[in-house]
Amino acid sequence: MRPHLLALLAKEPAHGYELKQALEQTFGSAYPSPNIGQIYVTLGRLEKDGLIRAVDVEQSNRPNKKVYYLTAKGRDVLEAWVDEPTEGPRVRDEFFMKLVLAPLTGIADRMALISRQRRHYLSLMGDLNDLMSRTAPTDRVAMLLIEGAMLHLQADLDWLERCQEDLA
Amino acid sequence: MSTVVKTVNLVKIYQDGAVPVPAVRGVDLHVEPGEFVAIMGPSGSGKSTLVHMLGGLDTRTSGEIWLDGKRVDTLSESAWALLRRNRIGFVFQFFNLVANMTVGDNVELPALLAGASPKVARERRESLLAALNLTDRAGAAPAQLSGGEQQRVALARALANEPSLLLADEPTGNLDSRNTRDVLRLLSEVHKEGQTIVMVTHDARVASLADRLVSLFDGEIVDDGRIARRRTRTAGEVIDLR
Ligand SMILES: Nc1ncnc2c1ncn2[C@@H]1O[C@H](COP(=O)(O)OP(=O)(O)OP(=O)(O)O)[C@@H](O)[C@H]1O
Ligand SMILES: [Mg+2]
Per CB-CB distance under 8 Å, the chain B contacts of A29 are 234-235
Mutation choice for ligand 1 from B12, B15, B43, CB with most ligand atoms inside 8 A: B43
User: What ipTM was reported for this prediction?
Assistant: 0.83
Task: Assess whether pLDDT exceeds 90 at residue B26.
Answer: yes
User: Which one of A23-32, B68-77, B141-150, B165-174 scores highest in mean pLDDT?
Assistant: B68-77
Task: Assess whether pLDDT exceeds 70 at residue B1.
Answer: no
- Band the pLDDT of B239: cuts 50, 70, 90: low
How far is the centre of ligand 1, averaged over its atoms, from the C-alpha of A49 (Å)?
63
Q: Is B89 exposed, middle or buried (0-12, 13-18, 19+ CB in 10 A)?
A: buried
Average pLDDT over residues B7-30: 95
Nearest by CB to A128, which of B42, B234, B238? B238
Q: Taking the domains of chain A in order of start, what are their residue ranges?
A: 2-83, 94-167
- Spatial contact of A23 and A8, defined as CB atoms under 8 Å apart: yes
Find out whether the beta carbon of B45 lies less than 6 Å from any atom of ligand 1.
Answer: yes
**pLDDT > 90 fraction of chain B, expressed in percent and rounded:** 63
- Locate the chain A residue with the closest alpha carbon to B236: A32
By three-state DSSP, how is residue A87 classified?
coil
Global model pTM greater than 0.90: no
- Predicted confidence at residue B183, as pLDDT, reads 84
Instruction: Give the closest residue (by CA) to ligand 1 atom 5.
Output: B14
Taking an 8 Å cut-off on Cβ atoms, the answer to whether B238 and A164 are in contact is: no
pLDDT tens, residue by residue, B60-113 = 999 999 999 999 999 999 999 899 888 999 887 776 788 889 999 999 998 998
Count of residues in chain B: 242
- Predicted confidence at residue B240, as pLDDT, reads 58
- Tens digit of pLDDT per residue, chain A (168 long)? 899 999 999 999 999 999 999 988 888 777 777 889 999 999 999 999 999 999 988 888 888 889 999 999 999 999 999 998 887 776 678 888 888 888 887 777 889 999 999 999 999 999 998 888 888 888 888 888 898 999 999 999 999 999 998 887
- Band the pLDDT of B182: cuts 50, 70, 90: confident
- Predicted confidence at residue B231, as pLDDT, reads 63
pLDDT tens, residue by residue, B112-121 = 988 899 999 9
Task: Assess whether pLDDT exceeds 70 at residue B130.
Answer: yes
Q: How far apart are CA B156 and CA B131, in angstroms?
A: 9
CATH code for the structural domain at B33-57+77-228: 3.40.50.300
Q: How far apart are CA B214 and CA B29, in angstroms?
A: 9
Taking an 8 Å cut-off on Cβ atoms, the answer to whether A126 and B223 are in contact is: no
Taking an 8 Å cut-off on Cβ atoms, the answer to whether A165 and B215 are in contact is: no
- Predicted confidence at residue B241, as pLDDT, reads 42
Taking an 8 Å cut-off on Cβ atoms, the answer to whether B226 and A121 are in contact is: no
- Predicted confidence at residue B232, as pLDDT, reads 62
A2-83 adopts what CATH topology? Arc Repressor Mutant, subunit A (1.10.10)
Higher pLDDT, B204 or A91: B204
- Predicted confidence at residue B191, as pLDDT, reads 92
Instruction: Give the closest residue (by CA) to ligand 1 atom 16.
Output: B46
Residue A14 DSSP one-character state: B
Q: Taking the domains of chain B in order of start, what are their residue ranges?
A: 33-57+77-228
